[in-house]
Structure 1
Amino acid sequence: MRTLTFSTLCATTLAATGLFAAGSASAAEGCDSAGLALPDGFCATQFSKDAGTPRHLAVADNGVVYINLANDVDGHGLMALRDSDDDGVADERKTFGEGGGTGLAIHDGWLYAATVTDIYRYKLDGNLVPQGEPEHIVTGLPQQSSHAARGLAISEDGQLFVNNGAPSNACQESDRQPGSKGQDPCPLLDNHGGIWAFSATETGQTFKPETEYATGLRNMFALDWYDGQLYGVQHGRDQLHSNWPDKFTQEQSAHLPAEELFAIDEGDHFGWPFCYYDPKADKKVLGPEYGGDGDKVGRCADYEQPLAAYPAHWAPMDILFYDGDGFGSRYDGGAFIAFHGSWNRAPSPQAGYRVIYQPFENGKASGDYEDFAGAAGFTGSGETVASPGSAEHRPAGLAQGPDGALYISDDAGGTVFKVTRASD
């Protein structure tokens, strides 16, 4: 793994201050943008305006869009949408099954869906909604008060990766309390704060600490498997100023730490809760709970470094490596990342609320990220957001259709967008 390039760091810093913006707000001539701020040459439709609280998405080979819902609709946690007349808008909608755990994936003809404690799979049979009963793949994922959403990724050879977030900010003796020291070792890392691996085909598996694949990840349900590698984007910690006002200003707390993009290998340790990533200094540093002062590195030199970093508190929700041919070669093999938007960047304006594109080359982030679906299209009020509740739309999930279209879910506005490239 490599650390960030100077250009990527500069872009990250500028974006955090609101000075960096890429992409255009105009749609291609002759098509609509559905209100999204898209690069030139792209169009969008509101594929569904009534999709409940959609989180992660998956699209079947026949074009049916499946959704894991944060809240049940008609007593069910999953939804299926189909556009039968090919006008970019779903005209069939049906709910089924259990959801509420965010994660959703399709692999080898099966739809995998997460609840907070379980992973199920449904055999796709060509119908709008699978007709058979689901198979129970994993049970016993920990019940927890926070960071309970699951992300899913599946490798070509059938490994199922599931995130298990830590129900804590920094593993303090008293969570989120001013001056409370960090527990060392952190007992939460025994059962939380990492990625667990299972078989995607074996039924009746149970959560066990020893099946952990990687650790030291506070909360990461933005997961994708691409070209033989697992990738994920982490939610960084909060409250540096409110918990340690003698060491960090409000301004520092608003812009620290960065959200980190990682390549994840078996046995990796990424440093939570002991460390956080400072993009300006280009290094992981010790958290104040563990004797850090904003500069001291200590044990943090031994943990995995990010491939790229993004502004603090943007809240990464999903990552999708694009391998379709609908957007042109420029986007082939790069990653789209959906950011939900911040809640704790005061005194700076709240930020995030967008989908970015991160170029990749040879498994590494290559160059600056760009806004793909910019914040102005999601907030409904331009770039500035006074509070999270004032954003009309908040990106939550990403999926690629068989025609190369990009689907974006919005759990605040109950909308699913379909983005396509205009015909030449």
Structure 2
Amino acid sequence: MYRLRCLMLLLLLSGCSGNVKSGKPAEPAKGDNRPAVNPAPVGEAQTQPTLAPVAASAPLQRQVRTRSLSPKPIRITVESLPKPYHSNSASRSPDVVPVPANPVLDVPAGFTVNVFAEGLEKPRWLALTPSGDVLVTETPQNRIRLLRDTDGDGVADTTKVFATAENKLHLPLGMAFAGGYFFLGNTDEVRRFPYTAGSDKLTGAGEKIADLPGEGYNQHWTRNVAVSPDGQKLYVSIGSESNADEEPLPRASVQVMNKDGSEQKTFAYGLRNPVGLDFHPVTDELYTAVNERDGLGDDLVPDYLTRIRQGEFYGWPYAYFSPANLDPRLVKNGQSLEAELVKRTQTPDVLFQAHSAALGLQFYDGQTFPEKYRNGAFVAFRGSWNRNQGTGYKIVFVPFNSSGRPQGGYEDFVTGFLLDPSGPTTWGRPVGLLVMPDGSLLFTEEGNNRIYRVQYQPAAVQRPAQNPS
């Protein structure tokens, strides 16, 4: 009996050891001076007090309690926008606090949330390898980690270093696979590496296939990459070097090139910081999520999601959303500094609350979420700094119609990170998104160095909520 008790004690202690599945909250990120912003003033989602159940498959210590969220449509129109300088231009950096001892997130009924991985270092972007492993960029560390869920419980139990600065990583972000290659968006170049399915580590430095302008204004160093549905073209997003100054291309644009980097040209431009890139799973059309400019007031200029096509111009820095909406900082004698170009300004498909910092974009092509989410888009709001009341710090959903076009509005999907908009104070800053083969949705959270997993489990709705350990 004594030996049996000892064995049980050892098993209990081993289950609490500090590995990838540890339930210990990560320390808050240090030195992030980027401020944040507030829930949209129109159509803010309401939450119900009843706690929903936690994920049935994930280990108890990795589950996150949830409340049932009743999303309301949020729709911002060009006509409803205020005039420039309608309010003072705030500078409010977010206070990112540690994960609460008993955290709660708000999601629509039937959805569950668990911690997929933690203990990372500034996790940003996500990608899926051909063999089903998860890659995550730890950008400031010039590192990519490979995460694997070997037992299928929705939690990563294996982590390996996939690539480092020795592989010529320099502020890496976007990742893609095509034609036997792994493509990587460094801040100042696109690099590709030979890749064999099943490989869990890059070897060598690969080859540089395209030079890009490096870094940029207020974290506009991000270079995303996306391969066309036919596997023939590579699309690369490049942010501006400034908030709202005149700059030469390829700044503030999406570039297109062959997979060897040849024949590079501008695909769409006037896009201040087009970080998220994804192709609609039915129409194969390219969409981007864009961070718009600062300094014009709390509700200007909205971030947005839009389809982009060859040669289109989206206004930055001279105008926004319409030839009639001129940026006053680039006007002389009542006329835009580029009056003819401004006439071509396109109106985006969906406007988001200004200063939300829309980053990750992922169309839902899984099969487990309810029908309304099929072929719609999820967008991660990191939260920004240029607003008197904080907004962002959440995941939103953009519904698309049967013709493969957005319906004009969006709604909250995962909220609860923002504790105090007046600070703002938050325990989460979502960035990257990824749909998994099992239909679940992953998103990175760089404030406390985690990756969360959202899954739909309607059978669990009647179960009582449980507290995480």
State TM-score, norm by structure 1: 0.78
Q: Among residues 325, 328, 340, which one is paired with 1:285 in the alignment?
A: 325
String of CA shifts for 1:125-173, please: whole Å, max 9, x gaps. Answer: 45461354463253321124421211122111221111111101111xx
Give the direction of change, closer, same or farther, for the CA distance of 1:24–1:235 in structure 2 (3 Å limit): farther
Say if 2:267 is the partner of 1:236: no
Give the direction of change, closer, same or farther, for the CA distance of 1:292–1:132 in structure 2 (3 Å limit): same
Q: Among residues 265, 275, 285, which one is paired with 1:221 in the alignment?
A: 275
String of CA shifts for 1:345-392, please: whole Å, max 9, x gaps. Answer: 02xx11111110000122321153111111x1x23x2x62513xx322
Deviation at 1:191, TM superposition (A): 3.1
Deviation at 1:330, TM superposition (A): 1.4
Structure 1 equivalent of residue 224 of structure 2: 151
Say if 2:160 is the partner of 1:106: no
Taking the TM superposition and a 5 Å limit, the aligned residue runs for 1:20-419 are 20-21=44-45, 28-29=52-53, 31=55, 32-33=63-64, 35-72=104-141, 76-97=142-163, 98=169, 100-107=171-178, 110-127=181-198, 129-130=200-201, 132-133=203-204, 135-136=206-207, 138-146=209-217, 147-157=220-230, 158-171=232-245, 186=246, 188-200=247-259, 202=260, 205=261, 211-226=265-280, 227-240=283-296, 253-277=297-321, 285-291=325-331, 300-346=342-388, 349-361=389-401, 362-366=403-407, 368-374=409-415, 376=416, 378-379=417-418, 381=419, 384=421, 386-387=423-424, 390-419=425-454
Give the direction of change, closer, same or farther, for the CA distance of 1:25–1:102 in structure 2 (3 Å limit): farther
What secondary structure, in the 3-state scheme, does the structure 2 residue paired with 1:363 have? coil
Distance in 2 between the 1:22 and 1:107 partners? Answer: 42
Which structure is higher in RCO with an 8 Å CA cutoff and minimum separation 6?
Answer: 2
Contact kept in structure 1, 2:124 and 2:173, CA below 8 Å: yes
Structure 1 equivalent of residue 11 of structure 2: none
Aligned residue pair count: 364
Contact kept in structure 1, 2:244 and 2:293, CA below 8 Å: yes
Deviation at 1:89, TM superposition (A): 1.4
Query: Which 10-residue stretch deviates more, 254-263 or 57-66?
Result: 57-66
Distance in 2 between the 1:45 and 1:190 partners? Answer: 42
What secondary structure, in the 3-state scheme, does the structure 2 residue paired with 1:360 have? coil
Contact kept in structure 1, 2:304 and 2:358, CA below 8 Å: no
Distance in 2 between the 1:263 and 1:365 partners? Answer: 9
Distance in 2 between the 1:40 and 1:24 partners? Answer: 10
String of CA shifts for 1:22-73, please: whole Å, max 9, x gaps. Answer: 676877535344543211101121111112111110123533110122221x
Structure 2 equivalent of residue 176 of structure 1: none
CA-based RMSD of the aligned residues comes to 2.9
Give the direction of change, closer, same or farther, for the CA distance of 1:413–1:358 in structure 2 (3 Å limit): same
Contact kept in structure 1, 2:216 and 2:239, CA below 8 Å: no
Distance in 1 between the 2:120 and 2:452 partners? Answer: 11
Deviation at 1:108, TM superposition (A): 5.1
Give the direction of change, closer, same or farther, for the CA distance of 1:385–1:126 in structure 2 (3 Å limit): farther
What secondary structure, in the 3-state scheme, does the structure 1 residue paired with 2:144 have? strand
What secondary structure, in the 3-state scheme, does the structure 1 residue paired with 2:248 have? helix
Deviation at 1:343, TM superposition (A): 0.5
Query: Which 10-residue stretch deviates more, 143-152 or 290-299?
Result: 290-299
Aligned residue type for 1:63? G
Distance in 1 between the 2:252 and 2:323 partners? Answer: 21
Structure 1 equivalent of residue 20 of structure 2: none
Q: Provide structure 2 residue ranges, at least 5 long, that are not aligned to the other structure.
A: 1-37, 56-62, 66-103, 164-168, 460-469
Distance in 2 between the 1:333 and 1:136 partners? Answer: 35
Contact kept in structure 1, 2:134 and 2:148, CA below 8 Å: yes
Q: Larger C-alpha radius of gyration, 1 or 2?
A: 2
Deviation at 1:328, TM superposition (A): 2.4
Distance in 1 between the 2:148 and 2:50 partners? Answer: 27
State TM-score, norm by structure 2: 0.71
Runs of 4+ in 1 over 6 A off after TM superposition: 23-27, 292-298
Structure 2 equivalent of residue 4 of structure 1: none
